[in-house]
Structure 1
Amino acid sequence: MKKIITPKDIFRQLKADLIGKDSYRGVTLTYTWLANQFGHFSLGFIPTFVVFLILKKHIPESRAALNAALGVSMAWLVFETYNFLGPLLSDKARKRYVFQPAWGNIAFDTITDLLYFWSGAFMASILCGYTPTALSILLILTAMVLYPAYYWYLTKMYLQTPSYPFQFRLSQWNTESLPQKDIDEIRRFLDNKGHGMHLFLFGPKRSGKTSLSVGIATELSIRHHTAVYTSAMKLYCMFFEHDDATSADVLWTWRKASILVIDDINPGDPIKHDLITPDQFLSFVDTFSTNDINRTVLRQTNVIWVLGDDDRLSERWKDMLLNIGVEKEKLISLNLQPYAPPMIRGEYDLHMQS
């Protein structure tokens, strides 16, 4: 059975984020999200307080406090609307994407930010000069922010558990060297509703195999799929591990994941020979397996295989999976060309940090 994140897991993670010092344990994505939202709250609170100090010299304090909150809230609404609609309505900005950003997801992220901006503004308004109107608005905003807070905190848990080597959204992939047929195959893998889809990525050094695999898996993590990123060498050791040893940092093992990324199976150019053949890989699967559990998991899991640069061997890898029961129509093979994948930095591609 594939793992899902439970309310107990969320509470355990929240407790870990709120109690203790990050100076000696590192910072998680969930902790970063909490700190970021506190920053948004503060960016509503502090400007409202400053504007209130200016307005109270000219109008009554209660009115000054309410007007300050309304003014700051309107300013953030204008800023975020421009920030969101600018690239969305720009043909030039849209055309630079090989894979379009998840605009609906970004819109939801923008709305979440606004709720925290506005909450900070009206909290400051109440403290500076109480009015029933400000209190009513704050209570409404508090109720409205509950679901977004739950959704984004849960999403960060799905993103941090796989231990991706870096943060990379699929929309950051910006190269015209990817043929349309390959783009369509990647979308087919992403939109697959079933299990047991396998994507082989071949290509030499700097072809972007790892970046593409992380980008695809990241999109699925944001959709709340359980994922595991691992190198082939680590996976060989994981073949004989038990599934009952989990912690707050490792909520699921590779057998409980719905998407598995196996990186560095073979290095590719400049190393000319494949270090691991399909037969050798299958021998590792079977050596440490009991009751064919490893074969069953590989057959039923969506897997991204990051291989070397010789795609002539793709048929041998496909044959290995066909022999363990994977359906032929669920096998996809892509050969990437070398390039240096540029990063498109901005609100749209890195909103996962918000």
Structure 2
Amino acid sequence: METSSVARVTIPRKAVLKQLKADLIGKDSYRGVTLTYSWLANQLGHLSLGFIPTILLFLFLSKKMEKETAALWSAGIIASIWIIFEAYNFLGPLLLKKPSNNKRMFLPKGSRYTFPPQWGNIAFDTTTDIIFFSFGAFAASLCCAYTTNGLIILLVLLALLIYPCRYWYMTKMYLQVPQYPFQFRLSQWEMDISENNRKAVEQFMEHDGEGKHLLVFGAKGSGKTTLSVGIATEMSIRRHSATYLTAMKLYCLFFDQPAVNLEELWNWRNSSLLVIDDINPGSPIEPDLISPKAFLRMLDTFTHNEANRLALKSRNVIWVLGNNVPQEKDEERWEHMLEKIGVDKSHILSVNLSD
């Protein structure tokens, strides 16, 4: 029986404004660069790539026509060039049926995706870029020569940017709060994975309830962490509150009181997705350094801890494990440990990247 839908954690407006203030004021040379800051800088670059070429083209065209006409033509030409460029990036290799070296959109050498990209999400990103290019171009046209048509177009573009700016800035916040060790989208996966394992990943991502657990087994270098981060990244883009932790870090948090920390947007206890990395390394280190029995003892903080058990059972969890040894006794298997804390057997999926 399916559980109720996951309670999504919504980022409050106050937190968004606080992050925006931190990105706009201060020096990134000592505080580090956030994903939200990178997105703002990227869009400023797009705006500049519309603004500067328009100014240069205007200087040329204004010698051949009236300034007002030259300003509009310059903006229109530069905006059109960027529209064509982005359309080719997005559709070119598909329409021409040729392989592309653009790793953002298409796999090199024309190989097929193991996990298809979220084309709607990528199309929306491309559209956002085009609007910023065009906004920069028509802002430059007004600087060169005022025209009513130029002002109207600029105001329309400004209105069109309101929703994308809000959407992408908050999406970057959902991606940066978990503190993933690297950026990786699932469609970038190019390593070997069996069909059964691929279907298990898709089944986990399609689950819209609580308490789904995905056990990721594999040898050292098989891509356990990469696959897990890719799955979690896609869930973060869908506005799931995710938490990424190594096992050692989580062991310390087991002993914390389940009180609300006002400085946190969410934590492992109330996030909708939890990634537990580096539980065991896998081959060539054959024995598990952390057994299911030892993990359960830490979860219980050495005595039965119902609050910790309930928190872990209720989360959607990706377990980054080592070797999968089917001949082990039941009490030594991770599936048995999950069932012991109350996870339904039907909510346990496994992927073995060593298959």
The TM-score with structure 1 as length reference comes to: 0.91
Does residue 1:188 correspond to 2:203, yes or no?
Answer: yes
Paired with 2:329 and 2:148, the residues of 1 have a C-alpha distance of 68
Provide Cα deviations, 1:249-269, integer angstroms capped at 9, x if missing partner. Answer: x42111121111101111122
Is residue 202–residue 311 contact of structure 1 (8 Å, CA) maintained in 2?
no
Partner of 2:3: none
Tell me the SS of whatever aligns to 1:287. Answer: coil
Matched residues in 2 for 1:107 and 1:2: separation? Answer: 25
Query: Which amino acid in 2 is paired with 1:265?
Result: I
Moved more, 271-280 or 44-53: 271-280
Q: In the aligned structure 1, how far is the partner of 2:325 from the partner of 2:43?
A: 46
Measure, in 2, the Cα distance between the counterparts of 1:129 and 1:23.
38
Q: Which runs of 5+ in 2 are unaligned?
A: 1-6, 100-105
1:37 equivalent among 36, 43, 61? 43
Partner of 1:271: 285
Number of the residue aligned with 1:150:
166
Deviation sequence 1:242-301 (CA, Å, 0-9, x none): 442353xx4211112111110111112222221111111111111178861111111110
**Aligned mates of 1:81, 1:308 — CA distance in 2:** 43
Give the structure 1 partner of residue 102 of structure 2. none
Q: Which residue of 2 aligns with 1:258?
A: 272
- What is residue 8 of structure 1 aligned with on the other side? 14
Q: Distance in 1 between matches of 2:170 and 2:148?
A: 34
Residue in 2 that maps onto 1:335: 352
Unmatched 5+ residue regions in structure 1? 339-354
What is the rounded CA distance, in whole Å, between the counterparts of 1:291 and 1:307 in structure 2? 23
Percent identity, aligned pairs only, is 56
Two-structure CA RMSD over aligned residues (Å): 1.8
Determine helix, strand or coil for the equivalent of 1:117. Answer: helix
CA distance in 2: counterparts of 1:314 and 1:214, whole angstroms = 30
Assess, with a 3 A threshold, how the Cα gap between structure 1 residues 156 and 96 changes in structure 2: closer, same or farther. Answer: same
**Kept in 2: contact 1:239–1:289 (CA 8 A):** no
Whole-Å separation in 2 of the counterparts to 1:231 and 1:252: 17
Runs of 4 or more, structure 1, over 4 Å off, are 91-95, 288-291
Question: Who is 2:250 aligned against?
Answer: 235
CA distance in 1, matches of 2:71, 2:98: 41
1:16-27 mapped onto 2 (5 Å cutoff):
16-27=22-33
Deviation string 1:39-67 (CA, Å, 9 cap, x unpaired) is: 00000000000000000001011110010
Distance 1:61 1:314 in 2: 83
Structure 1 pair 240–88 and aligned structure 2 pair: CA distance change class (3 A): farther
Letter in 1 for 2:59: L
- Aligned partner of 2:57 in structure 1 is 51
